[in-house]
Amino acid sequence: MKPVAGSVPSASDPSASDPPAPDSVVDGDDPRALVWDIIRGEWRFSALYAFVALDLARWLRDGPLDVAELARRCGADAGALARLLRTNAALGVVRTVSVREGRRCYALTPAGLTLHGGAEHSMRSVVIPQGAPDFREAMGSLAEAVRAGRSPFVTRFGSLYAYLEGDPEARGHFDAHMATRSRTIADAAVARYDFSGVSCLVDVGGGVGTILAAVLKANPRVRGVLFELEHVLPGAREFLASEGVLDRCELVAGDFFRSVPRADAYLLSNVLHNWSDTDAIAIGRTVVSAMSGAGRCLFLDMLLPEDDRPHLGKDLDMRMLALHPGGRERGRAEYLALLREAGLVAERVVDLPYALSLIEAVPAR
């Protein structure tokens, strides 16, 4: 029997539909659910960014605090902070450890601990740039970037790197993030690729040499050359010395559009994705012209699947579109075709963790 108009169906009524879950806007099988989940992702990130911008992990790292005390320490409104913490607790960043006389006390979860700047593999310097106003504005201008083929951020600043040159704080966060990411990449590359047959490895655009140091430490007979811009080298020298490999590493300043040192192996980690096809091909040709006859080139980059599967690189490509004048993530076929244009032939592709691939290429015969 159908319920009378205006009445409330009983729980036992087979015609009654279950209400959406408390964590949903619509039923899970509603096609709008996907769109709502994406929208809510923006709200959730805003709560996470506020947590990091207020540096709450710094105050909570030594133990739980109640909302009033935490508000006093970080200089926030206690009522607003309580709402922010409630949401971050739902996200899994903090957890309630006690409620006494209406005063809720929070502690960091393991995920929340990563938001402290001094934590190993800290995520603080990853979150801060994502939520910085200029970067949020850039991501919000994607439609304009697609219409024009050029990002408003690029028009205003020239590139991400040009922007960083004018903002030391943003540069510090970026460098810290890249150092952490490079250590992760280094561990994966050393574990999955045999460098023992290399005599001299040139790390082209290798930052302070994080990956190069890992290779040299794991392969005592390999010599290294870090090829970078002049202003990067003092910090690189200090880092390589701290890693105990400076005695087997030469530091060379230069421009990889002009020339690179001669060697039998080259490493380019997350280099080509920063550049347009034309520029990436030019970089590849520079390396080929310097490579010895039996040399090889190792590229560490993301290769996007050619189908509709989700992939980290597809998300990252939107950031490349928003922040770089020509950089992009590329599909596997597109990437290998680009290498052929540069005079290289990919001999094998080694899948690495974290959506990365190592592409081993040799000069075309």
Question: What positions carry a catalytic annotation?
Answer: 273
Helix (H) or strand (E) holding 193: none
Sequence-ordered list of residues with C-beta below 8 angstroms from that of 356, at least 6 positions apart, any chain: 185, 188, 300, 301, 302
Q: Identify the bridge partners of residue 361 per DSSP, sorted by sequence position.
A: 297, 346
Could you tell me whether strands 103-108 and 65-66 are parallel, antiparallel, or unpaired per DSSP bridges? antiparallel
CA distances from 51 to 9, 55, 103 (A): 42, 6, 19
Give the relative orientation of helices 78-91 and 32-53 as an angle to the nearest 10 degrees. Answer: 130
| Interatomic CA distance for residues 285 and 282, integer angstroms | 5
With CA atoms as reference, report the closest residue to 252 among 200, 204, 300.
204
* Number of neighbouring beta carbons within 10 Å of residue 21: 10
Asked whether 277 and 340 are in contact (CB, 8 A), the reply is no
Asked whether 48 and 84 are in contact (CB, 8 A), the reply is no
Exposure of 11 by Cβ count < 10 A (0-12 exposed, 13-18 middle, 19+ buried)?
A: exposed
